[in-house]
């Protein structure tokens, strides 16, 4: 009996490690297409920035570690060409075959613009792997670029822009849509733009990039270019094996992270999960979900019985020290999901004024019909993560605004005002309902 895991990063290794705990005797093989496993992908922008001094600080456990300490056979440079479920077999590109009884697919996601003309020019970068980060940092040191163009205003694009600006470069972000980060909303993008501009980064929205030229992108000059324009789930291998793909384009899973093929599980950025606010499928590739779904897939593949109910889509990104945090649905998203949303947006201080609080924006979305909370935004330099987590917890608990407004939150001048900004937003929202 063997468990095979395709993919050796957050989801895949979480699955393998959890399977080992559930069944100490299970044979476990992890097949990773790249040269390394288990690195801290979310730390890459901070290595580019220079805050994380050594790339080794982001490297995780080695295949040797997994082999010796966990009895997990991790094979790197082992790209998979096909899954033959009738034969319970994974076929590598090398032609080698690996038999499985249970399979976890954790193939991740990839950049959405891999074939952009000019993408292979030496001054063009992506930021997915340790090598990418290393190469970028070396380029900064050796070539001393004065300007950069970042293609894409998603979280990686914005984090890279922040990192490059802190290295003294003139930075322009080009974004195809009208929006930045993970909230398709005008007021949110306006706040991101304001913070970027305050720190000397220009954000141009509605710009389609169709090619990279040696000295410029879409007419914007840049000594270096970073392409960070969205993700696609790596679902082709699964699709070719006859596994059902969901409406999001990612692999359909149930709440045990099992796919449409019995005994085959999927986890991480290649898998679709349930949005707990709507109850519908969603695909929001984030490290937290990768780790959690990996654990559940691994436990169940090893004979356990665990559930992953879903996500509420919580995220936070630091833009020059200011947290931009979102959870649940925006009003527009809620409307598209069939709710009748109403919104309150307030500005308040993160602490009493006499204790120098930071300006904090809180937006809450609720359903008029049920008064249920549907989503929220918190923007601020102090406490944004904790505040969005309170809203996320409320979403997951299906609280009504009336209940949310009654929350007994911690108060003390060094930490929060007596009426926390999230409660002020709830009071405002109650007036709108």
Tell me how far, at minimum, the Cβ of 352 lies from a second copy, in Å.
6
Q: Please state the closest distance from residue 318 (CB atom) to a second copy, in A.
A: 4
- Tokens found for residue 74: 């991790």
Tell me whether residue 42 or residue 245 sits nearer to a second copy (CB atom).
42
Q: Minimal distance in Å, beta carbon 107 to a second copy?
A: 19
Q: How many residues does the chain have?
A: 433
| Contact between 174 and 332 (Cβ < 8 Å) | no
Contacts of 291 (CB under 8 A, 6+ apart): 10, 11, 14
Shortest CB 87 distance to a second copy, Å? 36
Does 270 participate in catalysis according to the annotation? no
Q: CB of 127: closest distance to a second copy in angstroms? A: 14
Looking at the Cβ atoms of 51 and 68, the one nearer to a second copy is 51
The residue assigned the tokens 């290649």 is 270
- Report CA torsion sign: 46, 50, 51, 53: positive
Strand partners, 29: 4, 73
Q: Enumerate binding residues for a second copy (CB under 8 A).
A: 10, 40, 42-43, 46, 51-52, 57-58, 155, 276, 286-289, 291-292, 308-309, 311-318, 321, 323, 325, 327, 352-355, 383-390, 392-394, 396-397, 399, 403, 406-416, 418-420
Distance CA 367, CA 89 (A): 48
CB of 312 to a second copy, least distance (A): 5
Return the bridge partners of 315, or none: 326
Point out the catalytic residue in the list 42, 59, 92, 332: 42
SS (H, E, C) 327-370: EECCHHHHHHCCCCEEEEEEEEECCCHHHCCCEEEEEEEEECCC
78/377 with CB nearer a second copy: 377
Alpha-carbon distance 107 to 270, whole Å? Answer: 6
Q: Who contacts 301 (Cβ-Cβ below 8 Å, separation ≥6)? A: 3, 15, 19, 102, 103, 104, 263, 265
Distance from C-alpha of 348 to C-alpha of 115, rounded to nearest angstrom: 45
Nearer to a second copy by Cβ, of 14 and 342: the residue is 14
Residue 27 or 132: the one with the smaller Cβ distance to a second copy is 132
DSSP state of 123: T
Token pair of 80 as six digits:
């998979």
Nearer to a second copy, 115 or 410 (CB): 410
CA neighbours within 13 Å on the CB side: how many for 344?
A: 24
Short-list 93, 99, 91, CA closest to 77: 93
| Two structure tokens written together for 374 | 């549907």
Catalytic residues: 42
């Amino acid at each position: 009996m063997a468990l095979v895991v395709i993919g050796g990063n957050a989801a895949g290794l979480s699955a393998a490690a959890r399977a080992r705990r559930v069944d100490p005797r299970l044979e476990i093989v992890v097949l990773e297409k790249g040269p390394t496993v288990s690195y801290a992908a979310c730390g890459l922008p901070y290595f580019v920035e220079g805050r994380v001094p050594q790339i080794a600080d982001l490297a995780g456990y080695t295949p040797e570690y997994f082999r010796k300490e966990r009895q997990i056979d991790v094979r790197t440079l082992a790209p998979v060409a096909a899954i033959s479920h009738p034969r319970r077999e994974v076929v590598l590109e090398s032609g080698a075959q690996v038999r499985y009884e249970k399979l976890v697919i954790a193939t991740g996601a990839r950049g959405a613009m891999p074939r952009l003309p000019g993408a292979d020019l030496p001054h063009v970068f992506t930021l997915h792997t340790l090598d990418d980060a290393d190469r970028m940092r070396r380029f900064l040191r050796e070539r001393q670029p004065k300007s950069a163009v970042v293609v894409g205003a998603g979280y990686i694009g914005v984090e890279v822009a922040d990192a490059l600006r802190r290295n003294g470069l003139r930075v322009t972000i080009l974004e195809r849509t009208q929006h930045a980060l993970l909230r398709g909303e005008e007021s949110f993008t306006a706040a991101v733009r304001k913070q970027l501009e305050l720190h000397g980064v220009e954000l141009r929205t509605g710009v389609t990039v169709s090619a990279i030229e040696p000295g410029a992108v879409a007419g914007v000059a840049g000594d270096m270019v970073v392409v960070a324009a969205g993700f696609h789930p790596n679902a082709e291998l699964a699709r070719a094996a006859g596994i059902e793909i969901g409406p999001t384009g990612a692999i359909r899973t149930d709440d045990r992270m099992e796919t449409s093929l019995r005994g085959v599980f999927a986890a991480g950025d290649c898998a679709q999960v349930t949005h707990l606010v709507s109850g519908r499928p969603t695909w929001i590739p984030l490290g937290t979900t990768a780790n959690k779904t990996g654990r559940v897939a691994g436990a169940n593949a090893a004979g356990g019985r665990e559930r992953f109910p879903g996500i509420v889509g919580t995220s936070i990104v630091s833009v020059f020290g200011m947290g931009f945090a979102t959870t649940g649905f925006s009003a527009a998203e809620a409307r598209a999901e069939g709710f009748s949303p109403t919104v309150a947006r307030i500005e308040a201080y993160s602490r009493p004024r006499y204790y120098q609080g930071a300006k904090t924006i809180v937006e809450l979305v609720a359903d008029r019909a049920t008064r249920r909370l549907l989503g929220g935004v918190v923007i601020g330099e102090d406490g944004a993560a904790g505040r969005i987590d309170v809203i996320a917890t409320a979403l997951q608990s299906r609280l009504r605004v009336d209940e949310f407004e009654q929350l007994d939150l911690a108060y003390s001048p060094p930490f929060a005002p007596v009426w926390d900004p999230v409660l002020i937003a709830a009071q405002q929202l109650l007036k709108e309902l």
